[in-house]
Chains A and B, each alone.
Chain A
Amino acid sequence: MYKSVRMIMAFAAALLLCSTYTASAGDTLKIGSFLAVTGPASFLGDPELKTLQMYIDDINSKGGIDGTKIDFIHYDTKAKAKDAKNFVNRLIKKDRVDVIIGGSTSGNTIAVMDLVEKAHVPLISLAGSVKIIEPVKKWIFKTPHTDRMAAAKIFEDIKARGFNKVALITGNGGFDKSGRAQCLALAPKYGLVIVADEKYGNSDTDMTTQITKIRSTDAEVIVNFGFGKAPAIVTKNIRQLGVKLPLYQSHGVASKKFIELAGEAAEGVRLPAAGLIVADKLPDTDPQKRVLLAYKNAYEAKYGPVSTFGGHAYDALFITVNAVRSAGSTDRAKIRDEIEKTKGFVGTGGIFNMSPSDHLGLGLDSFHMVEIKNGDWVLVN
């Protein structure tokens, strides 16, 4: 009996230790992140985490941000909203971080927004949905282009080519649904008519039924919003059925993986993408070119082919670093104010100009319309 009492005491003591041990933020900056490194969205989280680790190691080995070392804490959400919520709770209440970078998906980010707003911790999201920054939330920022911008860019291009009738085909994921909603909302503004609105499940292996339906309408172009392997299947199916209509994909497929998966069917597909995937094809006068090539070379030297998703993490990290530098402290409120004042920051996604009413700070011109030719990206002018 005596023994067991002692054991319980020891356990309680250990618990107490765990709970009271939180290093006070002295001259270290604590950055916490929650990314979907494994699971269905690993193609987002994996390059994001690698980018953060690579640059944080680099900054620390060069003496930190004006002497302030970065302490990096990371949790893998596996793209589950509940895990995201628990981990952010842990980052805020246990690890007591100064800034949070993440999550990889819109669902993960939206899940933690209330929590972060209450806790007063600046958060820079790496997810696409426009819901993250509209309406503006005081402590929440993001670096990737929104789905609304992607839809706008696609519609601009469709209009420029003189088409009017659009067939929409989207999956059942969060990204797909949000993209679809933006397309439906924006189409009238560009004078376009949505003549078909087909849906598939993201784990489906064949979309010929939906495409056959589209074929029976008088659509002039097809727009597909999605990421992962589904858009590649859509692309293949369209070519297999001999449908000759121009096909637009979203920025969700802006990685070499898509071209690999879709193979020859990807030829001629157009999509809006950040400058990163066409870095070496940009004119030398482009202010982004130097930054893009530096990031691309650094990443590829260490990990292999670069994707725009890692670039979002690069942007988020350096916006934070710059904010800490100009704030001259690791105070959360001061960092937040400085992030909001970000002006003319040249990142991989574009040139960021944030303001109290715009927590993204990217214009439509930060997107490039690219076309797939001979298994590579080509700029469309």
Chain B
Amino acid sequence: MKRLAGFYILAAVLIATGLIFPDSYYVTVVGVTICTNAVLAVSLNLLMGYAGQISLGHAAFFGLGAYASAVLTTKYGINPWLAMLAGVGISGTLAFILARPILKLKGHYLAMATLGMGIIIHIFFVQADWITGGPDGLSGIPEITIAGLAINNDIRWYWVFGGLMLFTTWISLNIVDSRPGRALAAVHGSEVAAQMTGVDTASVKAQIFVVSAVIASVAGSLFAHQQAFVSPESFSFFFSIELVTMVVLGGLASTFGAIFGAVLLSILPEFLLVFEDFEVLIYGAILMIIMIFLPEGLFVSGSRIVTGWLKKREMSTQ
């Protein structure tokens, strides 16, 4: 119970917000963006935060899922759920094939390799216009139905993405507390030490890379149906960087940190819009200040400060 306490709180907040403000722009539009980003950040955090393997190409798997759904449903009239499965297959296979050679690399070299992968896939989306529609993208992606219920308005999409986010969080929390999770932590700490204790580091890393890619792909498929439109810009290198920022900003190796980072980076631009021309400037300044003063991430450092403060108060009242 206690292990998943945070998860229950998150679920309660998500459901309460959806029930109390079903018409609010901040729930139906911003909320959906937040949930999408949170799913991606949590899945990236599995790889970056827990296994310690940086990836600058996460948006590519998100894009593969989105394009698989978009192309298969619009051009071939395939059932959206089968298309999503195909997307999962493509992303998972690609991740599996790439995992071993790529994850052998470390540090800057790993960053470069994943960056290259992301850019190659992005170029494919732009150039293969006979399949992907090129830079103009593909539109007219049909809506999906879940158990006979058409997901055709914003609040229903909120529930779908909210559900996916909770599911992803639950998976992430369980992986971390399982045997593979501890193996990941060992790899993160020291790969050599992990090998010495009998962890098959290469396969552990490959597994988590595939899991992370598959989650991103599912989010991508749903994203394509929700937007009813995909274009290569949504899956560019810059979006990968944004995802990395979310994970680092919230706090590496913390599932809730990743969610927190996603929430912050999705909401901030909405509220900074009032500053118009200075929006980007203030945005940058906020990120800088957080990283200087809370280098472990807002959520991790923040919760440490709060617990420290609570302890202190407890001591003084005793």
Contacts and interface: CB of A to CB of B under 8 A. Distances in A.
A107 to B, nearest CB: 6
A111 B273 contact: no
A75 B231 CA distance: 20
B127 interface: yes
B26 A18 contact: yes
B21 interface: yes
Contacts of B23: 19
B21 A107 contact: no
Contacts of A255: none
Contact of A172 (B33, B135, B227): B135
A131 B273 CA distance: 31
Nearest to A111: B229
A113 B231 contact: no
Contact of A93 (B25, B134, B137, B273): B25
Given A18-B26, A90-B25, A111 B129 contact: no
A44 to B, nearest CB: 15
A116 to B, nearest CB: 12
A308 interface: no
Given A75-B273, A114-B229, A107 B136 contact: yes
B234 A86 contact: no
Given A81-B234, A172-B126, A172-B127, A114 B136 contact: no
B308 interface: no
A85 interface: yes
A111 B127 contact: no
A346 interface: no
A106 B135 CA distance: 10
Interface in B114-167: 126-127, 129, 134-137, 139-140, 154
Interface residues of B, number: 27
Contact of B134 (A15, A86, A111, A174): A174
Given A86-B33, A110-B136, A177-B134, A80 B233 contact: yes
A110 B33 contact: no
Contacts of A94: 25, 29
B24 interface: yes
A111 B137 contact: yes
B137 A82 contact: no
A226 to B, nearest CB: 13
A276 B227 CA distance: 37
Contacts of A107: 135-137, 231, 233
Given A81-B233, A107-B233, A178 B136 contact: yes
Interface in A89-142: 89-90, 93-94, 106-107, 110-111, 113-115, 129, 131
B136 A106 contact: yes
Given A93-B25, A93-B28, A93-B29, A85 B136 contact: no
A131 B129 CA distance: 15
Contacts of B27: 19
A180 B181 CA distance: 52
Contact of B29 (A89, A114, A129, A174): A89
A280 to B, nearest CB: 34
Interface in B23-75: 23-29, 33
Contacts of A172: 126-127, 135
A268 interface: no
A138 B21 CA distance: 31
A81 B231 contact: yes
Nearest to B134: A177
Contacts of B291: none
Nearest to A202: B135
B21 A114 contact: no
A363 B228 CA distance: 32
Interface in B205-244: 227-229, 231, 233-234
B233 A82 contact: yes
B136 A19 contact: no
Given A81-B233, A81-B234, A173 B135 contact: yes
A114 B140 contact: yes
A16 interface: yes
A364 B28 CA distance: 44
Contact of B21 (A15, A93, A115, A174): A15
A114 B134 contact: no
A291 to B, nearest CB: 31
B310 to A, nearest CB: 9
A115 to B, nearest CB: 8
Contacts of B227: 85
A110 B21 contact: no
Contacts of A15: 21, 24, 26
B21 to A, nearest CB: 6
Contacts of A173: 135
B48 to A, nearest CB: 22
A90 B154 CA distance: 13
Contacts of B233: 80-82, 107
A111 to B, nearest CB: 5
Interface string A57-68: 000000000000
A93 B136 CA distance: 25
A12 to B, nearest CB: 8
Contacts of A80: 233
Interface string B241-262: 0000000000000000000000
A47 to B, nearest CB: 17
B135 A177 contact: yes
6 contacts: A19-B26, A81-B137, A82-B233, A93-B29, A172-B127, A177-B129
Interface of B: 21, 23-29, 33, 126-127, 129, 134-137, 139-140, 154, 227-229, 231, 233-234, 270, 273
Pairs of residues from A and B, 10 with the lowest C-beta to C-beta distance, nearest first: A19-B24, A174-B135, A94-B25, A81-B231, A82-B234, A114-B228, A81-B233, A93-B25, A89-B29, A174-B136
